[in-house]
């Protein structure tokens, strides 16, 4: 072994973010120009996002959850305090990032010719880890 890196996932690719949200059971709305988020009373907010989970897919008192692309092209989650309190918190975002990173990695590896060797889910005290192995041509 010669190199070891630790990284933090950045949500930068619309395609894999949408796929990850779908895998978690949502049907996100995508609009490159951005659309306003809607609050729990049906009020349109000033804040806009490019990827939106409409509140009807969440709790009856939920607000829309949005992912807005910032200047450097990273999607930032916009989640109300109420929705954070009912489970759309950092742990939820972490699981979303996990699915996103796996999908992005698989697609990149296939496109660049890495040889897929296997996938394993490892249970650790800190939660489940997805391990992917690739060979290099």
Partner 1 sequence: MKQKTVVIEIDEHGNSSLDLEGFQGSGCSAVAKDFQGRDAVRSVGNKREFYVQVTATTQEQERK
Chain contacts with partner 1 (rule: CB under 8 A): 1-10, 12, 73-74, 90-91, 93-95, 97-98, 101-102, 104-105, 108-109, 112, 114, 117, 122, 124, 126-136
CB of 16 to partner 1, least distance (A): 10
73-94 burial: b if 16+ Cβ within 10 Å, else e: eebebbbbeebeeeebeeebbe
Shortest Cβ 105–partner 1 spacing (Å): 6
Closer residue to partner 1 in complex, CB, 60/124: 124
* Structure tokens given for 43: 């009020």
132 burial via Cβ count (<10 Å: 0-12, 13-18, 19+): middle
Provide the CA 62 distance to its chain's centre, in angstroms: 19
**Which C-beta is closer to partner 1: that of 55 or that of 101?**
101
Contact predicate 73/12, CB 8 Å: yes
Q: In the bound complex, what is the minimum distance in angstroms from residue 5's beta carbon to partner 1?
A: 4
Nearer to partner 1, 10 or 56 (CB): 10
Q: Which is nearer to partner 1, 60 or 123 (CB)?
A: 123
Least distance (Å) between residue 114 CB and partner 1: 7
């Amino acid at each position: 072994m010669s190199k070891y890196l630790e990284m933090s996932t950045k949500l930068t690719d619309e395609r894999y973010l949408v796929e990850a949200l779908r895998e978690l059971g949502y049907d996100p709305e995508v609009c490159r120009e951005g659309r306003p988020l809607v609050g729990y009373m049906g009020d349109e907010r000033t804040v806009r996002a490019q990827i939106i989970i409409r509140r009807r897919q969440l709790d009856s008192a939920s607000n829309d959850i949005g992912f807005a692309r910032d200047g450097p092209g990273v999607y930032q989650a916009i989640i109300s305090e109420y929705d954070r309190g009912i489970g759309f918190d950092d742990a939820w975002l972490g699981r979303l990032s996990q699915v996103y990173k796996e999908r992005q990695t698989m697609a990149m590896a296939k496109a660049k010719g890495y040889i897929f060797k296997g996938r394993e889910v490892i249970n650790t005290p800190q939660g489940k880890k997805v391990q992917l192995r690739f060979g290099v041509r």
